Amino acid sequence: MAAIDSNESAIETFKRNHPDVSVAMVKDLTKFAPKELDEVLGSQRVDVIVGGPPCQGFSKARQVGGSNHGERLVYDPRRELYREFLKFVTYYQPKVFVMENVPGIRSAAGGEFFTAVQADSRELGYRVIPFEALAWRFGVPQKRVRQLIIGTRRELPVFIPARYIRATHVDPGEAVPKGMQPHMTLGEAIGDLPEVLAGDERHVREYDIDLRRQHVKRYGRRYTYNVLQAHKARNLLGHAARPHSDRDKRDFMRLREGETSRAAIARGVEMEFPYDREHFKDRYTRQHRDQLCSTIVAHLKKDGLMFIHPTQTRSLTPREAARVQSFPDTFEFPQERTKAYSEIGNAVPPLVGKAVGLAVAEYLAQPAMTDAVTRSLNANLPLSQELAVTELEAFVESMVMKDLTQLPKAEFLKAWWAVGYLHPNLHPDAAMDNGKELSPGPKRGVSFVLEPYYVRSGWPVELIPLAREARRRFDAKVLAEEEYYCSVAVIAGAAAKDRVR
């Protein structure tokens, strides 16, 4: 296993907390080639690559001149870290990759980043599926939402997010079915920590064992012990409160629990900080004990004004922020405040990482299906890619006059599996998230069951009604999971494509 980041302090923190990982390197990935990593890893196979390439650099500029005038995107390799990420994917051909990003990548640069990542990954032989991770569904007491893009080699079974990535907690306000838990709250995450005053920046202190006892009596052990492992930490580290100006502190005291300064002003409170009543932007938020905390961000290193403690006159300490991210108390961050906040805010919450990691492990532990097995499982598959095209063309043409919803299951499945066989790098769930951009075409001599396709999802336009109907039947439980995701067909199709190549 190897970990890479260009930030020296982040790697130091990683090493201190994961002494068992032998390779942790400070490298700028724009200047570090996979071959160089090979020298360190030796002959180790790389099955999984995980990373969070920032999307800020994604360029919207278009190339001018040349035959593709105004059509092609201009790529700035220094600024597009996702390409560096994909370079490692190209080199190692891992079975799975997971890319993490902020939800904004859906719309960044007009959605082009989100589309390009998926289109480029498919080019490399991966079947990709975006997955929106809602942190609270995994027991994190926070409103954090992150966009994951999960890619699996197209010759492997379809990765089914809903099957493998198991949520454990429900949405706020939702009824709690058996086997699930209500969402975690900020109060449960930090309520056992001793009170500190703004400006008391001691890094090491003692726990208040009595307070913890009362806390556990009220909430149980599920967070304090099971997640935070507070009983295993010798000292309480990083519960250090930054100073605030007297004016800020007086303003904090004017806020009710869970209130923003905007809401306080709206109910007639006079705040002291100078603000323009016309164009007023929120300055403070006091968090609420019984709710999810706002998304912990690296900006906390600059100020903590959006993260005022529910009952104390100060912003959240690094330890409190780490707890809101589900880091155990045994996890040590740098003493330097700015570094600690930025590492905590940049992180994927451990509980989310764990859920996704377990999902990938479970997915990879499935026994591989051979071509012969898949064929014996289903004699209904087309015999070749060409036949799949012919069958599908005939099917789509015949459906023009018919109602797809009325088709007998066997007939529908034959066509649906032909789609899987012909397009092993498409993910059924992605057909619901196509974006608008279409591939050029249809080109002469190319079938309409291949082109034009949506660049984001890769789905041919003419096959979308089939995908929609398949989803409808799956949701209505008319199709079983295996029938809908049709791994048997896609694996056979990928093998057929490989034979042709």
Ligand X SMILES: C[S@@+](CC[C@H](N)C(=O)[O-])C[C@H]1O[C@@H](n2cnc3c(N)ncnc32)[C@H](O)[C@@H]1O
CA distance 129 to 250: 48
Residue for token pair 């004004």: 305
Beta bridge partners of 460: 453
Burial pattern 447-457, b for ≥16 Cβ within 10 A else e, equals bbbbbbbbbbb
On whether the CB atoms of residues 230 and 207 are closer than 8 A, the answer is yes
The phi and psi torsions of 161 (rounded to 5 degrees) equal: -55, -45
On whether the CB atoms of residues 466 and 398 are closer than 8 A, the answer is no
Under rule CB under 6 A, which residues in 275-304 are in contact with ligand X?
none
Stretch of 59-67, 149-157, 285-293, 344-352 lying at the interface with ligand X (CB under 6 A) = 344-352
Residue for token pair 């951009």: 437
Least Å from the CB of residue 26 to ligand X: 9
Among 55, 148, 184, 347, interactor with ligand X by CB under 6 A:
347
Size of the site for ligand X (CB under 6 A): 14
CA distance 420 to 488: 9
Stretch of 4-12, 38-46, 160-168, 281-289 lying at the interface with ligand X (CB under 6 A) = 4-12
User: Quick one: 28 or 482, whose CB is closer to ligand X?
Assistant: 28
User: Quick one: 21 or 197, whose CB is closer to ligand X?
Assistant: 21
Beta bridge partners of 48: 96
On whether the CB atoms of residues 100 and 54 are closer than 8 A, the answer is no
Among 300, 348, 413, 486, interactor with ligand X by CB under 6 A:
348
CA distance 265 to 254: 10
User: Quick one: 10 or 316, whose CB is closer to ligand X?
Assistant: 10
Among 8, 28, 36, 482, interactor with ligand X by CB under 6 A:
28
- Cα–Cα–Cα angle for 167, 170, 176, rounded to 5 degrees: 120
- Assess 55 for contact with ligand X (CB under 6 A): no
Q: Which long-range contacts (CB under 8 A, 24 or more apart) does 441-448 make?
A: 447/389, 447/392, 447/393, 448/393, 448/396
- Assess 6 for contact with ligand X (CB under 6 A): yes
Stretch of 258-266, 320-328, 341-349, 444-452 lying at the interface with ligand X (CB under 6 A) = 341-349
- Assess 9 for contact with ligand X (CB under 6 A): no
User: Quick one: 10 or 105, whose CB is closer to ligand X?
Assistant: 10
Stretch of 23-31, 117-125, 279-287, 359-367 lying at the interface with ligand X (CB under 6 A) = 23-31
- Assess 81 for contact with ligand X (CB under 6 A): yes
User: Quick one: 316 or 347, whose CB is closer to ligand X?
Assistant: 347
- Assess 338 for contact with ligand X (CB under 6 A): no
- Assess 105 for contact with ligand X (CB under 6 A): no
User: Quick one: 328 or 452, whose CB is closer to ligand X?
Assistant: 328
- Assess 98 for contact with ligand X (CB under 6 A): no
Residue for token pair 């079947």: 127
Least Å from the CB of residue 41 to ligand X: 17
302 Rama class: left (phi>0) / alpha (psi -120 to 50) / beta: alpha
Least Å from the CB of residue 123 to ligand X: 23
Least Å from the CB of residue 17 to ligand X: 12
**Pair of tokens at residue 10:** 């982040």
Distance linking the first and last C-alpha atoms of the chain: 32
**Pair of tokens at residue 476:** 């209505």
- Assess 7 for contact with ligand X (CB under 6 A): yes
Binding track, positions 382-411, relative to ligand X; x by CB under 6 A: ------------------------------
CA distances from 230 to 192, 223, 331, 348, 488 (A): 10, 9, 10, 20, 47
Beta bridge partners of 23: 2
Residues that bind ligand X (CB under 6 A): 5-7, 10, 28-30, 52, 54, 81, 100, 346-348
